[in-house]
C-alpha cells in the first residue's frame, strides 16, 4: 500500500513540475531548427517569423540550420529533442514527401511531432539562365522538349521543393531531362546565374530578386493564381498545364510530448507574428503572404500534412527516385 502511495506521489510530482514549467515557459532562448542551409528560401521564412515570435514569447528565438539528407537530419533532431518547447522545427513541403523519398526514414511525420501551425504558402517560378533562347513559356516548353538531351535542370537536392517541381514538370510534359542535384538552393542558383546549368524551378523567396534584377529569365509561376509581386508572369495552368500547382507551404512543429500549455504559447506567438506588419511586408517583398489566422493552427497543419503525403507519394513512386 505504501509503495502504491509513493508511486501516486511521484506521478503527482511529475504533473506538478510539468504544470509549473508550462506556466513559466519560456525562461531561456528557443532554438528553431531549419533543416536546410543558411541563406535559402526556408531559412529566410524562418528568420522572418522567428524575429517576430520572440516579441510575444519574451525570449530570443535562435534559428539553427541543421542541413543534410534533404531536410531529414534536422527534422530527426527535433523529433528526438527534449519535448520542453525549447526546440522547434520550421519545415516546408519536404515534411510530407520524406516518407515516400526515404526508405529508412528515422521519424514519422504524423506521429513524432506536434503541429503548431502553418506559416506561409510560397509559390515557385520556372526560370532559366539569362541567355536562354526562349522568350515566353510556349517557346520554353518547345525548346526543352526538342533539346532534352542537351539541357540540365538544377535542383537543391533530393526532396527539395525544386526537386519535386522538376519531377512533376517532367511527368506533366512527358519529357525526361538531365537533373543536377546540389547541396542547397544557393549553389544551384549560383550555377544558374553563371550559366553552368540551364533552368530550374524555385521558390519566389529565392527568385524574385533575381527576376526583377534581370539576372534570370522567368516563364511562369506554379501557383493557382498570379503572384502580385510578379504580375506579368503567367501561371502554369494559364500556359496549358491544367492542375499544375506546386506551393511550398511551411509549418512549425514541436516534438511529440510537448506540454499542451507550452504548445498553446507557441501557437499564440505564431499567430501574433503572422499579424505583424513587418512580417507581412517582408513576405510580400518575397512574393508571398502569411497564411490567414484560420490556417495558423495545429489542426490546419495536421490536415495539410496528411493530404500532401497522399498527394506526393504516387508522384515520387512513379518517378522511382528514392534514397536510403
CA angle 163, 139, 249 (to 5 degrees): 30
Are the C-beta atoms of 277 and 266 separated by less than 8 Å? Answer: no
pTM to 2 decimal places: 0.82
| Nearest Cα residue to 93 out of 320, 313, 276 | 313
Task: Provide the pLDDT for residue 21.
Answer: 52
- Which residues in the chain come in under a pLDDT of 70? 1-22, 321-324
Among the listed residues 287, 252, 291, 286, the one whose alpha carbon sits nearest the alpha carbon of residue 274: 291
Residue pLDDT, tens place only, 257-316: 999 999 999 999 999 999 999 999 999 887 788 999 999 999 999 999 999 999 888 888
Q: Pick the closest to residue 169 from 185, 154, 157 (CA basis).
A: 154
- Looking at residue 254, its pLDDT comes to 98
Amino acid at each position: 500500500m505504501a509503495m502504491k502511495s509513493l508511486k501516486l506521489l511521484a506521478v503527482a510530482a511529475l504533473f506538478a513540475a510539468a504544470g509549473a514549467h508550462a506556466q513559466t515557459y519560456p525562461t531561456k532562448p528557443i532554438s528553431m531548427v531549419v533543416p536546410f542551409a543558411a541563406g535559402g528560401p526556408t531559412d529566410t521564412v524562418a528568420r522572418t517569423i522567428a524575429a517576430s515570435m520572440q516579441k510575444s514569447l519574451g525570449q530570443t528565438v535562435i534559428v539553427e540550420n541543421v542541413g543534410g539528407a534533404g531536410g531529414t537530419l534536422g527534422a530527426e533532431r527535433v523529433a528526438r529533442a527534449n519535448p520542453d518547447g525549447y526546440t522547434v522545427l520550421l519545415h516546408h513541403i519536404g515534411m510530407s514527401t520524406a516518407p515516400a523519398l526515404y526508405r529508412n526514414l528515422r521519424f514519422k511525420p504524423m506521429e513524432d511531432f506536434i503541429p503548431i501551425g502553418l506559416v506561409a504558402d510560397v509559390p515557385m517560378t520556372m526560370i532559366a539562365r539569362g541567355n536562354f533562347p526562349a522568350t515566353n513559356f510556349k517557346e520554353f516548353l518547345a525548346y526543352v522538349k526538342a533539346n532534352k538531351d542537351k539541357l540540365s535542370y538544377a535542383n537543391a537536392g533530393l526532396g527539395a521543393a525544386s526537386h519535386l517541381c522538376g519531377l512533376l514538370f517532367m511527368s506533366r510534359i512527358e519529357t525526361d531531362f538531365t537533373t543536377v542535384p546540389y547541396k542547397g538552393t544557393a549553389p544551384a542558383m549560383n550555377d544558374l546565374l553563371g550559366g553552368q546549368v540551364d533552368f530550374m524551378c524555385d521558390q519566389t523567396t529565392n527568385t524574385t530578386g533575381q527576376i526583377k534584377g534581370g539576372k534570370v529569365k522567368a516563364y511562369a509561376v506554379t501557383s493557382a493564381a498570379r503572384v502580385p509581386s510578379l504580375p506579368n508572369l503567367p501561371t502554369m495552368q494559364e500556359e496549358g498545364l491544367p492542375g499544375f500547382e506546386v506551393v511550398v507551404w511551411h509549418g512549425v512543429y514541436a516534438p511529440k510530448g510537448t506540454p499542451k500549455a507550452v504548445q498553446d504559447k507557441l501557437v499564440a506567438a505564431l499567430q501574433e507574428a503572422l499579424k505583424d506588419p513587418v512580417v507581412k511586408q517582408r513576405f510580400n517583398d518575397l512574393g508571398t503572404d502569411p497564411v490567414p489566422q484560420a490556417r495558423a493552427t495545429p489542426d490546419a497543419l495536421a490536415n495539410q500534412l496528411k493530404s500532401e503525403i497522399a498527394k506526393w507519394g504516387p508522384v515520387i513512386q512513379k518517378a522511382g527516385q528514392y534514397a536510403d
